[in-house]
Structure 1
Amino acid sequence: MNDLQPLIDNNARWADATVARDPEFFKRLQRQQAPEYLWIGCSDSRVPANEIVGMAPGELFVHRNVANVVPHSDVNCQSVIQFAVDALKIKHIMVVGHYGCAGVQMALEGRRSQGVADYWLGHIRDVASRYKPLLEAEPDARHRASLLVELNVLEQAINVSHSAVVQDAWARGQQLSVHGWVYSLGDGRVRQLGLSAEGPEAVKGLREMALERILEARSRHRATAQTARSGA
């Protein structure tokens, strides 16, 4: 038996249902790709980019890797950014992490995969090292992990903002913004981290401003949770 046959069958049903709803759908899709957004997210199977933001094929350009890391040395990710910005003229780049990220958890705990992923997760261990005092101040392991998810998004969004492609686009006046988001597996909601850059001037002080907003939001969340427990 072909173990992949259920996937082929699902595809046939999806294609038929799509044509039934919109007979011109695939004809339009063939003619052009004109997304305004680039989603840089985690490869986690529970985080389907298009579905999360309710977009159809052709409306969202997507790059995914383990723990949504954007190193300047990764030619794969950088080429996606370059194609999205220079060829597709996208207007927004969203770096999207998610709570419960296994890659972030491994980096935080210092666990090893005994493979090449250990080198990749070194980027997140660097983030954890940069913010070690903040992480150690968190009351429990779950809060430390969620904070590192947010800090990783912050640092990767800054990497995007400093990339040659984005800097060149801003220099020539191209409309382009970089954003930091986190997705919650618990309720399916995307949270904006208060991190957006629309030009080189906006990048100055971005880390400090975004970090302040992240910590303020976490403080409000703890206060709300404490009030709820007290009233229970």
Structure 2
Amino acid sequence: LSVLEFAVETLQVKHIIVCGHYGCGGIRRAFEPPDGGGLVDHWLAPVREMCRRCAPDLARLPTEAARMDRACELNVELQLRRVAATPIVRSAWQRQQSVTVHGWIYGLGDGLLRDLGLKLSSLDDAESLDRENEYAGLAEPITMVRRHAEEAFAGLTMLEPPLLEEG
């Protein structure tokens, strides 16, 4: 079982916190060209796409530091959306289980933890965020790898134990 699945299904956690931090090296690297397709570049692909989509708005900010800080905040939103889009969280909401996904960010320079005001507690909240937010396109892009994974797991139910044949 995944950590998220165990937390939601078994422990019945009520709050999931997606927490990023200012000064993130991954965000800084996402603004640089990929350097050969390594694992880091694979993991950063959705973040790079977010940075590309948000580049015009980020360019309006007065300093490089402000642009990086805002990109860190947008990454928290992207990751919050990704957690909320998992079958684990969506199934919990469909069952009316009380689970809230929060978006926070930590300031390495000042040690302060900030609530970004991003909070999803239901399928309606998630859909509302998509409709209201100018960055609604921040969902993870559909890649061939993701498409193949979705097809492979489409018929599986995570909560059912495997069937064992007697004999």
What residue identity is the alignment partner of 1:173?
Q
Bigger Cα displacement from structure 2, 80-89 vs 109-118: 109-118
Where in structure 1 do 4 or more consecutive aligned residues deviate above 2 Å?
Answer: 109-115, 207-212
Equivalenced residue count is 135
Residue 81 of structure 1 deviates from its aligned partner by 1.2
In the alignment, structure 1 residue 121 sits paired with structure 2 residue 39? no
Aligned-residue sequence identity (percent) comes to: 39
CA RMSD of aligned residues (A): 2.1
Of 152, 159, 167, the match for 2:75: 152
Aligned pair in 2 of structure 1 residues 177, 87: CA closer, same or farther (>3 Å)?
same
Secondary structure (helix, strand or coil) at the match of 2:52 reads helix
Larger Rg: 1
Please give the per-residue CA displacement for 1:78-99, whole angstroms capped at 9, x wherever unaligned: 9221111011111101100000
- Unaligned 5+ residue runs, structure 1? 1-77, 213-232
In the alignment, structure 1 residue 134 sits paired with structure 2 residue 53? no
Structure 1 Cα separation of the partners of residues 93 and 99 of structure 2? 7
In the TM superposition, 1:140-179 aligns within 5 A as: 140-179=63-102
- Unaligned 5+ residue runs, structure 2? 136-167
Residue 166 of structure 1 deviates from its aligned partner by 0.5
Q: TM-score, normalised by structure 1?
A: 0.54
In the TM superposition, 1:207-218 aligns within 5 A as: 207=130, 209=132
Structure 1 Cα separation of the partners of residues 125 and 55 of structure 2? 26
Structure 2 Cα separation of the partners of residues 120 and 83 of structure 1? 23
Query: Contact conserved, 1:195 with 1:210, CA < 8 A, in 2?
Result: no
Counterpart in 2 of 1:196? 119
